[in-house]
Amino acid sequence: MRNFLLFIFCIQFFLFSSKASLAQRSGSVTLQVNNSSIEEFVQQIESKTPFRFFYDPHQLADIRITLQINEQPIASVLEQAFKGTNIQFAIDPQQNVFLVRGKEIATTLPPDLFPAPAGLVDKAKSVARQQLPLEPGKTAFIAAQENKVYVIGVKGLNQEARATISGFVKEAGTVKPLIGATIFHQTTGAGTATDGNGYFTLTLPKGPQALTIRSLGMKDAKRQVILFSNGSLDIALFPANTALKEVLVQAEEESNIKKLQMGMEKLDVSTIKQVPTVFGEADVLRVILTLPGVKSVGEATTGFNVRGGATDQNLILFNDATLYNPSHFFGFFSAFNPEIIKDVELYKSSIPAKYGGRVSSVLNINSREGNKVKIAGSAGIGLLTSRLNLEGPLMKDKSSFLFGTRTTYSNWLLKLLPNDSGYKGSKASFYDVNLHLNHQFNENNRLAVTSYWSKDASNLNTDTLFSYSNRNLSLKWSHAFSSKFFGNFTVGQDHYHYENYSQANPITAYKLAFSLNQANLKADFTYELHPKHTLSLGAGAVYYNLKPGTYRPMGTESLVLPVEIEQEKALESALYIEDNFAVNHRLSFSLGLRFSVFNYLGAQSIDTYAAKLPKDEFSKTGTKTFGENEVVQTYSNPEVRMSGRYAFTENFSVKAGYNTLRQNIHMLSNTTAIAPTDIWKLSDPNIKPQLSQQLSLGLYQNLFSNQLELSAETYYKKLKNYLDYKSGAVLVMNPHIETDVVSTHGKAYGVELMVKKAAGNFNGWVSYTYSRIFLQMNDATQGPLINKGEFYPAAYDKPHDVTFVGNQKISRRFSVSLNMTYSTGRPVTIPIGRFTYGGSQKTLYSGRNDYRIPDYFRTDLSLNIEGNHKLKQLTHNSWTLGVYNITGRKNPYSVYFTSDKGVVKGYKLSVFGAAIPFVNFNIRF
């Protein structure tokens, strides 16, 4: 194994060094040929360079070459000259060029090309020679060369017509596994994609085969194999270096049509970094908000709403750890450090059966792996935040670490504010720390550790200090049982808490705290049952422990009486199985079933209420008490996940899906966004689990050889047991929440259109979303009807949304990004008059959510300047300059009403009520 890794290292080393040495020795080629024969072409090159060509003139007699080349390396010239033909070329260190039609040339590597110490080279050579033949299924190649033919398996081992190749697709150099890379066999059309560990299996006819491998951010690659029996092949891909003009990035160009998932958006961090954001800090969640079907209720809110879902209905997973508050500083920044992230997947329609527990969407954020070869890092300085990232090997080629931290230093700025600004004395600070460790024991066993710690504190110009913190730790062991059976075992602990306190008045000084802990354990397996059937199956359990509220005095003078709301505990267990069934290359299905059981556990005292009467203090009939870990209530039922795809042509497909989902943890909030006063509440005998059903249909068309992706998706969703609030509901420190909430049912529907240009000097997307979400409370036994029992828009119903995100490369060092978004203002309930009743002044409110705040419109512009591209320099620098909200529109974030001397006054608050310039400086080392 050790030798094997050394081999990888050497190959990569060789490739880099050979390129460099060629360019140095030969200089570059300048030539102009027009419909020339191979003889004329060769003559031109031989006359200007020391290269000598060897070829069979009869074999290449029919070749005509038209090319205009100015100062390019020979390899590039040959590549362009023979593009689209089956002519292979090879260049040896004596500057001999071999041209062959059809067949591959496997040149031995002459020792003088290795500038490395002689011992190392010899070792690498001996390893390379020992590669053949292989025992089946044992040692894998790291196949990094396109022109080489890789022999897999042992000839004549068995009589079967087909054999299975399995292995990892990795990034050359860092040896990081590439997730979602596609491996495609052109002749039969068979294909597969790597899983979360970069692992793939593919069954093919025996004999010589050509594979095409593609992965996001990597150069497309072809591999030639001769397949004799089952065996492994690891494939190393090279990063697509966008600074070189020759490389065309065609990341996942077919995936929109081909992939089975619908309503799934995947963004890699380079896309995320292009979108301008306030303060110039790349922000995962803000970019997610630009996707069709994803909205937020306001500017400084990081909670997002997917297809008419509430902010608590999204499962936010960061390397399998659940994050409850995905924002910093009340939503100004997202909780994810962009330097740590590799990519982000959002499932809004067909959600794989392995995920459960939320009814709206799954946002899966994957971190990178640290560099296994050398220490590297980056640092960034922004207006209000700074960040530092470090990564490197712990054991070379086996384990690595990735560390990232961000912090804000805005408090000193807040102190400089003038007294009349109204923000004097404001405090705001946050930090987050990420640490990821990876270790590869052998090719079948890998371990990854993710830890995340964040802390926020702000007083929002009030005398109350709000602070909250996320703490997550997860451990994942990946194990390959065989070339067709793969498992991931994850254990983790997630924690979220907030603590708000006020000391303005010593007599009433208090501390209000909430905390949530969950322990997770799960096992996920992938099994390739048959070339047409891939099974995903697994089981998992989540143990919740919530402290819904403690209210304590602060300081010795405080007269506040301590109150504590009983702890809540529950166990949520689930089993799932899903079959990805490829009927043929046009038609495929995914059929999944998830069965979850939710046990609400004691110790707990539960109030009981008279049947058919609204739950309130008066209909309470008694209290039942339950002992430690006694099952108070059980909810269980199956969830169905189905989707299908039919590709009419290579460029057009139709997908449909049906999903049911359930949720047993509910967020209760006086605001519509996620705020540090929200309470999470588990389902209990009085609060039922939320259920949703979604039916969706999508059309996907790619144009101009996959340069342009068009998609149209539509959905209809039904919600059950969504919690809304009774009039006058008080949620903070309420020991009997059920008396202040009502269970509503809802319907949501919408259309999402998107045009996306993923590659090229200009890339970006335009999306339009029409989406509605209505709730209804027409059950008089729950209390007074809301809006006469008719459907009313939910507080986050925003029918129209248009977003444009674009990035134009001006030169290799400059690019401009533009981001425009328009959406309908969200609905609010407003006071529309006042009156006297029973001798006191009362306020008349409109029907629930009858009014809307003004529409939202914003344009951001940013300019990215890369430092010079000299390969050898100590650090690489880049600048981001830009203006957020360039039109300066005062987009209201919220409206609120206060009573001042008996007169009710309304205010609208816009968080970024002006154009905000920003600047960011980044260093990579």
- Closer by beta carbon to other proteins, 489 or else 857: 857
Residues 623/625/630/633 CA torsion (nearest 10 deg): 0
685 contributes a contact to other proteins by CB under 8 A: no
619 contributes a contact to other proteins by CB under 8 A: yes
Count the site residues for other proteins by CB under 8 A: 84
The alpha helices in 275-335, defined as continuous H runs, are 284-288
- Closer by beta carbon to other proteins, 291 or else 786: 786
Q: Go through the chain and tell me how many residues it has.
A: 925
User: What phi and psi, each to the nearest 5 degrees, are found at residue 332?
Assistant: -65, -30
Q: In angstroms, what is the minimal distance from the CB of 251 to other proteins?
A: 34
200 contributes a contact to other proteins by CB under 8 A: no
212 Cα distance to chain centroid: 25
Q: In angstroms, what is the minimal distance from the CB of 923 to other proteins?
A: 16
Contact residue for other proteins among 394, 529, 587, 730 (CB under 8 A): 730
Q: In angstroms, what is the minimal distance from the CB of 859 to other proteins?
A: 16
865 contributes a contact to other proteins by CB under 8 A: no
159 contributes a contact to other proteins by CB under 8 A: no
| 341 closest CA partner among 375, 366, 370, 377 | 366
Site for other proteins in 423-442 (CB under 8 A): 423, 426
Structure tokens at 631: 């099952």
Q: In angstroms, what is the minimal distance from the CB of 846 to other proteins?
A: 8
Q: Where does this chain touch other proteins (CB under 8 A) — which range of 108-116, 334-342, 565-573, 721-729?
A: 721-729
Residues 243/701/254/176 CA torsion (nearest 10 deg): 70
Contact residue for other proteins among 620, 718, 772, 809 (CB under 8 A): 620
Q: In angstroms, what is the minimal distance from the CB of 524 to other proteins?
A: 39
581 contributes a contact to other proteins by CB under 8 A: no
Are 618 and 605 a contacting pair, CB within 8 Å?
no
- Closer by beta carbon to other proteins, 433 or else 460: 460
- Closer by beta carbon to other proteins, 327 or else 434: 327
| 283 closest CA partner among 168, 406, 166 | 406
753 contributes a contact to other proteins by CB under 8 A: no
Contact residue for other proteins among 841, 869, 873, 925 (CB under 8 A): 841
Q: In angstroms, what is the minimal distance from the CB of 6 to other proteins?
A: 47
SS3 80: helix
Are 73 and 95 a contacting pair, CB within 8 Å?
no
- Closer by beta carbon to other proteins, 525 or else 884: 884
Draw the binding track, 457-496, toward other proteins (x: CB under 8 A; -: no contact): ----------------------------------------
Site for other proteins in 256-295 (CB under 8 A): 278-279
Which of 386-391's residues contact partners 24+ apart within 8 Å by CB, and which partners? Answer: 387/337, 387/339, 389/337, 389/339, 389/340
Q: In angstroms, what is the minimal distance from the CB of 816 to other proteins?
A: 20
Q: In angstroms, what is the minimal distance from the CB of 825 to other proteins?
A: 11
Contact residue for other proteins among 83, 835, 868, 872 (CB under 8 A): 835
- Closer by beta carbon to other proteins, 519 or else 733: 733
Q: In angstroms, what is the minimal distance from the CB of 840 to other proteins?
A: 6
96 contributes a contact to other proteins by CB under 8 A: no
Are 840 and 907 a contacting pair, CB within 8 Å?
no
Q: In angstroms, what is the minimal distance from the CB of 776 to other proteins?
A: 15
509 contributes a contact to other proteins by CB under 8 A: no
Q: In angstroms, what is the minimal distance from the CB of 677 to other proteins?
A: 5
552 contributes a contact to other proteins by CB under 8 A: no
Q: In angstroms, what is the minimal distance from the CB of 301 to other proteins?
A: 13
| 306 closest CA partner among 687, 717, 820, 793 | 717
Measured from the Cβ of residue 243, the count of other Cβ atoms closer than 10 Å reads: 10
| 261 closest CA partner among 321, 351, 183 | 351
614 contributes a contact to other proteins by CB under 8 A: yes
Site for other proteins in 515-534 (CB under 8 A): none
379 contributes a contact to other proteins by CB under 8 A: no
Are 512 and 499 a contacting pair, CB within 8 Å?
yes
Contact residue for other proteins among 664, 677, 690, 694 (CB under 8 A): 677
SS3 156: coil
Cβ-based neighbours of 683, under 8 Å, separated by 6 or more: 570, 598, 600, 633, 635, 664, 665, 666, 689
- Closer by beta carbon to other proteins, 597 or else 919: 919
| 635 closest CA partner among 568, 701, 572 | 572
Draw the binding track, 58-87, toward other proteins (x: CB under 8 A; -: no contact): ------------------------------
Sign of the CA dihedral with 414 first, then 419, 420, and 425 last: positive
915 contributes a contact to other proteins by CB under 8 A: yes
SS3 533: strand
Supply angle C-alpha 363, 365, 367, rounded to 5. Answer: 175
DSSP 8-state assignment for residue 310: -
Assess whether the previous peptide bond of 133 is cis (omega < 30° from 0). Answer: yes
- Closer by beta carbon to other proteins, 173 or else 676: 676
Are 641 and 661 a contacting pair, CB within 8 Å?
no
Are 303 and 311 a contacting pair, CB within 8 Å?
yes
Site for other proteins in 590-609 (CB under 8 A): 609
Q: Where does this chain touch other proteins (CB under 8 A) — which range of 281-289, 574-582, 650-658, 839-847?
A: 839-847
| 696 closest CA partner among 737, 632, 641 | 641
Q: Where does this chain touch other proteins (CB under 8 A) — which range of 159-167, 289-297, 483-491, 728-736?
A: 728-736
- Closer by beta carbon to other proteins, 178 or else 414: 414
In whole angstroms, give the CA distance from residue 863 to residue 816. Answer: 5
Q: In angstroms, what is the minimal distance from the CB of 727 to other proteins?
A: 3
13 contributes a contact to other proteins by CB under 8 A: no
DSSP 8-state assignment for residue 566: P
Q: In angstroms, what is the minimal distance from the CB of 906 to other proteins?
A: 4
**Residue 336 identity (one-letter amino acid):** F
Contact residue for other proteins among 132, 416, 559, 871 (CB under 8 A): 416
- Closer by beta carbon to other proteins, 556 or else 836: 836
Q: In angstroms, what is the minimal distance from the CB of 461 to other proteins?
A: 9
514 contributes a contact to other proteins by CB under 8 A: no
Q: Check residue 737 and give left, alpha or beta (phi > 0: left; psi -120 to 50: alpha).
A: alpha
652 contributes a contact to other proteins by CB under 8 A: no
Q: In angstroms, what is the minimal distance from the CB of 687 to other proteins?
A: 17
In whole angstroms, give the CA distance from residue 892 to residue 823. Answer: 12
732 contributes a contact to other proteins by CB under 8 A: yes
Are 620 and 607 a contacting pair, CB within 8 Å?
yes
Q: Give helix 2-26 / helix 74-81 axis angle, nearest 10°.
A: 90
Measured from the Cβ of residue 347, the count of other Cβ atoms closer than 10 Å reads: 23
Contact residue for other proteins among 88, 378, 410, 807 (CB under 8 A): 410
Site for other proteins in 774-833 (CB under 8 A): 783-784, 786-788, 829-833
898 contributes a contact to other proteins by CB under 8 A: yes
In whole angstroms, give the CA distance from residue 55 to residue 632. Answer: 82
